[in-house]
Amino acid sequence: MSTTEEDRTPEPRVLGVPRMGLVVLIGVSGSGKSTFAAEHFAPTQVISSDHCRGMVSDDENDQSASADAFALLHTVVDIRLRRGLLTVVDATNVQSRVRGELVRIAKDNNVLSTAIVLDVPEALAKERNRGRPDRDFGDHVVRRQRRELRQGLKRLSREGFRRIHVLRGPEEIDGATVELERAWPDRTELTGPFDIVGDVHGCREELEELLGVLGYELSRDGEGRPVGARHPDGRTAVFVGDLVDRGPDSPGVLRLVMGMVADGDALCVPGNHENKLIRALKGAKVQATHGLAETLEQLGRESEEFRARVLAFCDGLVSHLVLDGGRLVVAHAGLKEEYHGRASGRVRSFALYGETTGETDEYGLPVRLPWAREYRGKAAVVYGHVPTVKAEWLNNTICLDTGCVFGGKLTALRHPERELVDVDAHRTWYEPVRPLSGTPPEDGERRADDTVDITDVGVGDGVSAPGLYVETADGAVRTDSGSTLSALEVMSRFAVDPRWLLYLPPTMAPAPTAAAPGLLEHPDEAFAYFRGAGTGEVVCQEKHMGSRAVAVLCRDGEAAERRFVPGELGTVYTRTGRPFFQDPALRAEVVDQLRRAVTEADLWDRLGTDWVALDGELLPWSAKARPLIREQYASVGAAARASLPAAAAALRAAAARGVPVDGLADKVALRTEQTEAFSRVYRRYSWDTDGAAGLRYAPFAVLASEGREYTDADHLWHMAIAERLAEAGGLVQPTRYRVVDTTDPAACGSAADWWTDLVSAGGEGMVVKPVLGARAEGRKGLVQPGLKVRGPEYLRIVYGADYTDPERLAVLKDRNLGRKNSLAMREHKLGLEALARHARREPLWRVHEPVFAVLALASEPVDPRL
């Protein structure tokens, strides 16, 4: 606490103000607060009561609007402080009650409050007020305000202000400057690289060994005791606290760490054991339990000077550190996101002890709240405090306390490399109260990071949803409220276990509408698109007419348990995440056949993995869509086949009687032809299957395998893998394809002929993709990963049997593809992001977020015929 009230120096005053915090200006009306605020702070940082009064009443001096004005002011202050913004309140603030409310808001947001008092002579304030026509209140008001101010000055520090600056007289006010100070935990300018070391607890030998393994060179004093360590590459060690207690040589550990910190080779945050040691060293009555007795006994053999240094060192440690541009937070017991970089008793207590439920477990130890499970922040939080068997990442947090003093290990984390380095304890130095737990914060049947929160999918506000805002490597993608809620229902009720869902296929846009007469789609337009985008060669893949199917296949149960769902060896799901096969036996049979193909194609070894995810098409269409084909397609054909001949017969009879019905008869004849053409389409994609017999799977992409995703691989590689799988036999079917240089008209022409052959033979059409793969970029960045070019006959089951009527076609050619293209691109970005996050082994909620967003976008309205 630095009260500068007594400072009466003539030099210009420099007012220290925490960068993240609240500044309360205090002064009577006419003391120059607004002028002062305008001079020293940005306009958006200053919240003035007059301005708020104006906003709620159109009159900045309407005192009857004060209650509403302050309600608004408090709301704005609260929001700004929650967001970590410096906020200056420009109001008289002469009453203790008014200031108390502001300090409370600051405390709620765990930021510090600073008071700046502008104390001007009463006469000057009165004179200034008289010069302002809108201030028509009497002099008695200023007098009363001044009296209140005077009374309150002494109380300011008790009111909770951590800094109080009193400026007396206009000269001092005019001469003062404000210096923004960053919060103590804010060391974002340090970029390391860092080696963060877990709880040492007096295990000096193991610490020396670990620092050696990490590459530090130790320096020793005359007695051979280590007093420093420096890394030749300039790395910085960071200690998570609990250097002392329980272990054999707490003074030795302190000597080494204090030396490293003093030399700038290390940083350190306090642990709860240091906190207790401070109180013991200061002479407070503390219970010498949990190993404190050993430490005090060991320190007792040290010099008084050393003990003083220890006290000063421990007392000067800052609760937590925010490092590396905000990417790394180190706190002894961890820290939830809203506390990062903040300063308050609450934050310090959380950082030292964590948050507990108030209950104790069967060993009498406090039950901790699982803050890490709910952690969703961008900064990696590295902590210690809770001894565990193995350091494991959980939602971008990791606990490095691997119980060295209990005979476990001493562990360090390299940042930003995210490599763990550990050394074994030389012995069990101290018996634990309870056995070390498996995973932090506690062991459960599910991995702790398998829990997805409702807020992770953009829901959680009464009966509406804010929607998702997903940051992808290629820009942010939003989902709106309605589609988010639709996706919630589908995901909750129909989707496979989200742990399987590493990806949902994006929708694919059709080629721009064909210029050629009589056609809606033609390869020329697809080639032109990629030529225009500057992506060079494309691959044309035959489009199988079946149902989209993602297959996730595990080599063994261990892989399934580690990465997906225990107890199953794989799954096949649809483009909306539903299980492709409802029957578990059939699902197992298909998974098994596909796993066999992967084994025979030697993919496990070739890809160096024990699981693989494939994207492809499962045939026949009727395998999944039989009810749809029956109800929506074949029924139309049946009704037409029953009605049209009867109509034709009636018309023939009428015509024979000389009734003029020729036009109508022609139309019926045309409809009859079109109906047959329409029926031919869906018949071709329907055949009987019996279990897995008759099913075919045509993979066209390897999505991912352990630690790897393949969106950067070119399509020739993907096609080669697909061919190998098909050669292995079983139900895998190859995909015909050809590579086309879009700048070569002859090649384009021959590819268009190939397409014509495909669709004339009953094919659905083809897909044109940049040969470089899903991440292919054109001159303006990411391009569509593929465009479909569907055949004219196939389109009858999309646009209706009669869409080829010239007048209908003319209308249809006017179709608008903008929305479809945009959706396809947004879903593509989400798909890439989901695979990337999964490959980085990010927690389930992080993978689920873009996957869920794809499902949400899939429910956005768009012409379903595209």
Partner 1 sequence: MLLTITTTAAPATDLGFLLHKHPDRAQSFEQSFGTAHVFYPEATGERCTAALLLDVDAQALLRARTSVSSPDFSLAQYVNDRPYATSSLFTVALGRVFRSALRGSCRARPELARTPLPLELRMPAVPCRSGAERARALFEPLGWTVDAEPVPLDPGLPGWGDSHYLSLTLTGTVRLSEALSHLYVLLPAMDGSKHYWVDRSEVDKLLRAGGLPGAAPRTAVDGPSAAGEATPSAIAPEAPGEDGDGTDGPDADVGWLAGHPERDWITHRYLNRRDAYVRTALARIAEAEGLAEGDGADDPAAEEAETAPPAEGHDERVPTLAEQRAGAVMAVLEAEDATSVIDLGCGSGRLLARLAADRSLTRVTGVDVSVTALEHAHRRTCRGCDPGGGRRHRPLPALTGGAVGANGAPPRPELLVGSVVYRDRRFSGYDAAVLMEVIEHLDPSRLPAMEESVFGAARPRVVVVTTPNAEYNTHYEGLADGSLRHSDHRFEWTRAEFARWGDRVAEQYGYRLRRLPVGSEDPETGSPTQMGVFVR
Q: Which is nearer to partner 1, 37 or 452 (CB)?
A: 452
DSSP category for residue 207: H
* DSSP-assigned letters across all residues of 116-141: EEEE--HHHHHHHHHT-TT----HHH
Minimum CB separation of residue 434 from partner 1 in Å reads: 17
The strand ranges marked E within 508-654 are 509-510, 537-543, 547-554, 570-573, 611-619
What's the CA gap between 732 and 715, in Å, rounded? 18
Strand partners, 112: 21
Minimum CB separation of residue 453 from partner 1 in Å reads: 5
284 burial class (0-12, 13-18, 19+ CB within 10 angstroms)?
A: exposed
Q: Which is nearer to partner 1, 586 or 798 (CB)?
A: 798
Q: Which is nearer to partner 1, 196 or 644 (CB)?
A: 644
- How many Cα atoms occupy the beta-carbon half-sphere of 264 within 13 Å? 3
Chain centroid to CA 833: 10
Minimum CB separation of residue 564 from partner 1 in Å reads: 10
Q: Which helix (H) or strand (E) holds 702?
A: strand 696-705
Q: Which is nearer to partner 1, 409 or 796 (CB)?
A: 796
Minimum CB separation of residue 439 from partner 1 in Å reads: 14
Q: Which is nearer to partner 1, 499 or 715 (CB)?
A: 499
What's the CA gap between 440 and 199, in Å, rounded? 15
Minimum CB separation of residue 788 from partner 1 in Å reads: 16
Q: In this structure, are strands 194-197 and 409-415 parallel, antiparallel, or unpaired?
A: antiparallel
Chain centroid to CA 185: 24
692 three-class SS: coil
Nearest to 266 by CA among 257, 274, 254: 257
Minimum CB separation of residue 657 from partner 1 in Å reads: 7
Planar angle of CA 197, 199, 202, nearest 5 degrees: 110
Q: Which is nearer to partner 1, 194 or 799 (CB)?
A: 799
Minimum CB separation of residue 480 from partner 1 in Å reads: 13
Q: Which helix (H) or strand (E) holds 360?
A: strand 356-360
Minimum CB separation of residue 122 from partner 1 in Å reads: 45
Minimum CB separation of residue 531 from partner 1 in Å reads: 32
Minimum CB separation of residue 476 from partner 1 in Å reads: 22
582 burial class (0-12, 13-18, 19+ CB within 10 angstroms)?
A: exposed
Minimum CB separation of residue 643 from partner 1 in Å reads: 4
What's the CA gap between 299 and 281, in Å, rounded? 10
Q: Which is nearer to partner 1, 330 or 565 (CB)?
A: 565
Q: Which is nearer to partner 1, 515 or 639 (CB)?
A: 639
What's the CA gap between 83 and 109, in Å, rounded? 9
What's the CA gap between 842 and 104, in Å, rounded? 38
Structure tokens that stand for 73 in this block: 């002011």
Q: Which is nearer to partner 1, 13 or 336 (CB)?
A: 336
Q: Which is nearer to partner 1, 123 or 639 (CB)?
A: 639
Q: Which is nearer to partner 1, 279 or 446 (CB)?
A: 446
Nearest to 640 by CA among 685, 682, 681, 676: 676
Nearest to 319 by CA among 353, 269, 273: 269
Where helices occur in 477-570 by DSSP H, the ranges are: 481-493, 523-533, 557-563
What's the CA gap between 203 and 313, in Å, rounded? 19
- How many Cα atoms occupy the beta-carbon half-sphere of 833 within 13 Å? 26
Q: What residue type is assigned to position 125 of the chain?
A: A
Minimum CB separation of residue 658 from partner 1 in Å reads: 8
Q: Which is nearer to partner 1, 269 or 651 (CB)?
A: 651
Minimum CB separation of residue 49 from partner 1 in Å reads: 26
Q: Which is nearer to partner 1, 214 or 634 (CB)?
A: 634
Minimum CB separation of residue 443 from partner 1 in Å reads: 11
Minimum CB separation of residue 333 from partner 1 in Å reads: 21
Minimum CB separation of residue 573 from partner 1 in Å reads: 12
Query: What is the dihedral sign for C-alpha 228, 229, 230, 235?
Result: negative
517 burial class (0-12, 13-18, 19+ CB within 10 angstroms)?
A: exposed
Q: Which helix (H) or strand (E) holds 623?
A: helix 621-628
What's the CA gap between 541 and 793, in Å, rounded? 18
Q: Which is nearer to partner 1, 462 or 818 (CB)?
A: 462
Nearest to 613 by CA among 568, 555, 567: 555
Minimum CB separation of residue 635 from partner 1 in Å reads: 5
Nearest to 839 by CA among 715, 700, 703: 703
Q: Which is nearer to partner 1, 471 or 631 (CB)?
A: 631
Q: Rounded to a whole number, what is the distance in angstroms from the first to the last CA of the chain?
A: 68
The CB density around residue 497, as the number of other CB atoms within 10 Å, is 14
User: Directed axis angle between helix 844-858 and helix 481-493, to 10°?
Assistant: 110
Query: What is the dihedral sign for C-alpha 678, 680, 681, 687?
Result: positive
- How many Cα atoms occupy the beta-carbon half-sphere of 811 within 13 Å? 7
